[in-house]
Structure 1
Amino acid sequence: MKKTLNLQLDPVEAYDQDVFKQVVLQKAGISSDSAHAYVRQNRRSIDARGRRVKVNVEAEVFLNEDPSPRVEHEYDYKSVTNSDPIIIVGAGPAGLFAGLRAIELGVKPIILERGKDVRARRRDLAAINKAHLVNPDSNYCFGEGGAGTYSDGKLYTRSKKRGDIRRILEILVNHGATEEILVDAHPHIGTNKLPQVVTRLRETILNAGGEIHFETRVEDFIIQKGELKGVITQNGEKVEGFGVILATGHSARDIFNLLHKREILIEAKPFALGVRIEHAQNLIDRIQYHCEVDRGPYLPASSYSLVQQTYFKGKQRGVFSFCMCPGGFIVPAATAPGELVVNGMSPSRRDSKFANSGMVVAVELEDLPEYRKFGPLSAMHFQADIEKKAWELGGKTQAAPAQRMMDFVQRKVSNRLLDTSYQPGLNSVEMREFLPDFISNRMVDAFQAFGKKMKGYLTNDAQLIGVESRTSSPVRIPRDRDSFEHPQLKRLFPCGEGAGYAGGIVSAAMDGERCAEKLIAAYVRL
């Protein structure tokens, strides 16, 4: 017999497994002495809106029967060694899941990745943090697994109409992710665990006869009679296939420049730009969980989501938190020397004493009149200029410009900065020296509003660290709504965040799968 119960529990009842079992059996009317009762959580979410935090749990009880497997499907990856090939540029979540889906459909993926595998990539990340050296092909954005591998591993998405979210999560579990990601309302693998999952995804592709080539940067396209036949790498090697899935991520500026140079249609795209804000995690916990001292041993590090509409010179723009990282760290995310970019990440335990979040302002193309001369690359050039100014203000290293929160609101350079999780260090500046007025003025208005929504959030015991500029791609590579194919160049399938069609690991993975399906249906004879 199986029973499903929807319960609202105290944190100790939800997170202490022994207590949880006793509570659920009691609610189900089953004796706690029963030797043949199995209890588990199916869904879990925290409700901190009231003075007492509650945890909403969907519980399953199996009495006198074995529990059904939590992972419902096993995926079949038969050999495609001698099958027709497709080319996938980029080994982020879009590229890897496109490769897996191609194998399921009997097609051989050839994945080209400019960066290194996850293990070799670690040395380049250490060089950024310790020696301030940026490898333009291997960094927090470029390399196996993409930007998410070493900058968080959050799996929450609102893209429920774009594909099967459960399927993506189950594939991740099949490759080593904990089953907890199937339970939590806001699932998270953690940057310390995601590299192992990515490694296993790679092994599945290789074991099935797919190919993955690291340190292989695409520098040109092979175009014949309006069709994309393949690509040319930095070594002059030609790689050809039945079509190309372009899944290069939101920071591949050389690819955007190449597309523009080759007169392949691209478009400037609105994005968002701002800073990272770092608070003590204990402060955020006390605000969110309404506790006087700390959150206790059961509740996870708390997060927040904030948005405020602001007005500047008669134009309305949203200011919003982005990629909030409870118990996390701020990391240097530049992809080339001479620029300063920051991002956030959290380990699986989320046990850092810091909480950080992007706090960004929506940037529309009409906000950038002086960049119109760059055509479809206008927003990208604006983004790059801000990053260069931030780098100069940081001392022309990966030390980041920073300012305490109330000092920023009051236009004061901070005499002393706070402790930080950002390893390369901070340099006290007036952030308006690189943030334009239409960004900084809106942020001030939003901070004051956020201080009213979250009492204690607006404080000089928090600091702004900048610049957070890689929220999404500043360029869109257009594609047909139904076929996913580029409207001008046949056999080109723009994919994922870099093309403007995803915004995180799960949505990118789903987009990769759909692009593989569309390409194969159109051009590969099965």
Structure 2
Amino acid sequence: MQKEIEITVSPNQIHDTDILIALGAEQLKVEHSRIQGHHVRKRSIDARGRKVVYRLRVIFYIDEPRSLEVFSASIKQVHDAPSVIIIGAGPAGLFAAYRCLERGLKPIVLERGKPVKERRRDLAKINREGLVNPESNYCFGEGGAGTYSDGKLYTRSNKRGDVEKVLQIFVQHGAPSDILVDARPHIGTNILPHIIEDMRHTILEFGGEILFDCRVDDILADFGQVKGVRISNGEIIKSNHVIVATGHSARDIFHLFQQKGWLIEAKPFALGVRIEHPQEIIDQAQYHCSIRPENLPPAYYSLVEQVNRRGVFSFCMCPGGIIAPCSTEDQEIVVNGWSPSKRNNPHANSGTVIQINLEDVPNSLSDPFALLHFQQAVEQQAFQMGGGNLVAPAQRMVDFVQQKVSSTLPTNSYKPGTKSVDLDEVLPSFVHQALRGALPLFGKKMKGYYTNEAILVGVESRTSSPIRIPRHKETLQHPEISGLYPCGEGAGYAGGIVSAAIDGINCVDAIP
């Protein structure tokens, strides 16, 4: 007999099997000896009270041995199978390729950037020299932006597809099994590259193809039916099914659609700054302690406020993390955050952003590029204010609210460097006004948050794509081009690693 119940334990009891079984026996009103095994199905931290506790959903095996289903994907050899072209090797593209193997289709993945190991050299140049390779950076290359974007797997996308299956595939390729249990699963940027490589090996082993340094310059169609693509070396690759999974920063794909007269449309996105605190401030606020207990991870937060009828919210919070330069072109500043698996860096950072709506930008209903051009202008202004070499404009938090240029900036994790500026000269007026109103309110919600020890680094602008590529709700194909499947974050249908992966799977499942 199996019984699933919720039990609550203190942080110092979380790894004590005897205590878990004793609590289970007590709650189930059975003899301790009758419990022959247990399995923690879900684990979350509850810090709402004065004492922080773990809440566990546990399956107890009573009078029978523990038995767990072993995940096993049914993938096929596809060397000679019908092909599907997948543009982009980010989460959407890789999981689309994996799903092709399950369906007996041959994925041909075309990635403009480099394999993940080679990609590291270009990231080093970005951090040390401020040099951006437009084909290989934090956004482009094997694994896409997700590889160097912390590896957070928390999602609310259950209605879109099988989240558990995505997590199981990650575990099958080397992710820690804890991601199947934790309420806010996280892999870490140091582990993700190895998982991505292992997924590549699976795709190749079963007959798929992955081509790197292979930018798609044209998508070929005839009489409303996709026929294939032309890549950067001039070669034409043919297929009647093309999945466009290029990510939110592949602006050239949007221009390609415009040149061909194919439907695209402006889409709201969010823009703001990265805010970084010493991690100990966040730990003290969330765990109600002076020193974080050993069995609790670095604390995270999620904050939201309404200011001037605008939502201001934290986004992609990275405990023990790093602020990274995520520009994809020269003369622009874009920042994001990531964390290693242990989240053991001394700072915590989070995007803090404001929604940019169509009505905020002139001509957005008639010009699909209106919000993208707005995004570009802010990124270019941030670059100018930073002074070059990807030095980012920055300001202390209280100074920003009080409209003072900071005389000094705190030590922070952004490697190319920061420059003290008036961020009002970087951010659009309605953005900095909403942000200025929200930060003191966040401080009332979370003790210690509103402090001049925190730094605002500009700009966080690639929260999602400012353009959507439309598709039919049922077929997931572009309304004008049969066989063309807009997919993932870049097309406007996902927001994170797991939702992008699910969308990649869904697009393959839509292929007749």
| Per-residue CA distance 1:105-140 (angstroms, 9 max, x = gap) | 111010000011111111111111111111111111
> What are the Cα deviations for residues 225-269 of structure 1, in whole angstroms up to 9, with x where unaligned?
121111111111101112100000000011111111111100000
- Contact 2:305–2:441 (CA under 8 A) maintained in structure 1: yes
Tell me which of 399, 405, 426 is aligned to 1:413: 405
Distance 1:217 1:18, change over 3 A: farther
For residues 371-415 of structure 1, what are the alpha-carbon distances to aligned partners after superposition, in whole Å with 9 as ceiling and x for unaligned? 659810111111111111111111111111110000000111111
Q: Larger deviation: 450-459 or 213-222?
A: 450-459
Equivalent residue number for residue 251 of structure 1 = 249
**Residue equivalent to 1:304:** 301
**Equivalent residue letter for 2:315:** F
In 2, Cα distance between equivalents of 1:387 and 1:338: 8
Partner of 2:56: 57
Q: 2 CA distance for matches of 1:122 and 1:16?
A: 40
Letter in 2 for 1:176: G
Aligned equivalents of 1:326 and 1:21: distance in 2? 32
Matched to 2:340, the amino acid is P
State the distance in 1 between where 2:91 and 2:272 align. 25
* Residue in 2 that maps onto 1:524: none
Gaps of 5+ in 1: 522-526
What is the aligned counterpart of 2:181 among 171, 180, 183?
183
1:333 aligns with 2:333: no
**Per-residue deviation at 1:65?**
4.5
One-letter code of the match for 2:87?
A: V
Tell me how far apart the structure 2 counterparts of residues 134 and 454 of structure 1 sit (CA, whole Å): 37
CA distance in 1 between partners of 2:15 and 2:406 (Å):
41
When residues 25 and 116 of structure 1 are mapped into structure 2, their CA distance, relative to the original with a 3 A threshold, is farther
Q: Which of 209, 212, 216 is the aligned partner of 2:210?
A: 212
Q: Is the 8 Å Cα contact of residues 86 and 243 (structure 1) preserved in structure 2? A: yes
Q: What aligned pairs does 1:28-67 form with structure 2 within 5 A after superposition?
A: 37-62=36-61, 65-67=64-66
The answer for the alignment partner of 2:342 in structure 1 is: 349
* Letter of the structure 1 residue corresponding to residue 44 of structure 2: S
Q: State the match for 1:68 in structure 2.
A: 67
How many aligned residue pairs are there? 512
Of residues 422, 429, 436, the one that matches 1:437 is 429
What's the CA shift for 1:22?
5.5
Partner of 2:14: 14
Partners of 1:487 and 1:495 in 2: how far apart? 14
Alpha-carbon distance in structure 2 between the residues aligned to 1:397 and 1:196:
30
Provide the residue aligned with 1:470 in structure 2: 462
Determine the C-alpha separation between the residues in 2 that align with 1:237 and 1:126: 31
Structure 1 residues 277-298: Cα deviation after superposition (integer angstroms, max 9, x where no partner): 001111011111111x111101
**TM-score, scaled relative to structure 1:** 0.94
Contact 1:374/1:381, CA 8 A, preserved across alignment: no
Task: Assess if the C-alpha contact under 8 Å between 2:327 and 2:333 holds in 1.
Answer: yes
Question: Which amino acid in the other structure matches residue 320 of structure 2?
Answer: G
Alignment of 1:31-430 (within 5 A): 37-62=36-61, 65-69=64-68, 72-291=70-289, 293-311=290-308, 316-369=309-362, 372=364, 375-430=367-422
Secondary structure of the equivalent of 2:144?
Answer: coil
1:469 counterpart letter in structure 2: S
- Taking structure 2 as the reference length, the TM-score comes to 0.97
Post-superposition offset of 1:68: 2.3
CA distance in structure 2 between the aligned counterparts of 1:130 and 1:22, rounded to whole angstroms: 54
> Partners of 1:67 and 1:510 in 2: how far apart?
31
Question: Given that residues 266 and 365 in structure 2 are in contact (C-alpha distance below 8 angstroms), is that contact kept between their aligned partners in structure 1?
Answer: no
Cα shift at 1:346: 0.9
Q: Give me the whole-angstrom Cα distance separating, in 2, the residues matched to 1:373 and 1:261.
A: 18
The answer to whether the 8 A contact 1:92-1:144 is kept is yes
Structure 2 distance, partners of 1:288, 1:334, is: 32
Kindly provide the amino acid, as one letter, of the partner of residue 287 in structure 1: A
Q: Give the whole-Å Cα distance in 2 for the aligned partners of 1:282 and 1:205.
A: 42
**Pair 257,374 (structure 1): closer, same or farther in 2 beyond 3 Å:** farther
Classify the secondary structure of the residue corresponding to 1:412: coil
Q: Which residue pairs with 1:449 in the alignment?
A: 441
SS at match of 2:299: coil
Equivalent AA in structure 1 for residue 173 of structure 2: H
Amino acid corresponding to residue 465 of structure 2 in structure 1: S
In 2, the alpha carbon distance for the partners of 1:66 and 1:78 equals: 33
Deviations 1:76-107 (A, max 9, x none): 21110001101000011111111111111111
Gaps of 5+ in 2: none
The separation in 2 between residues aligned to 1:372 and 1:39, in whole angstroms, is 56
Cα offset, 1:2, TM superposition: 3.6
Question: Could you say what the CA RMSD is over the residues aligned between the two structures, in angstroms?
Answer: 1.8
Q: Is the 8 A contact 2:35 2:60 kept in 1?
A: no
CA-CA distance at 1:24 after TM superposition: 4.5
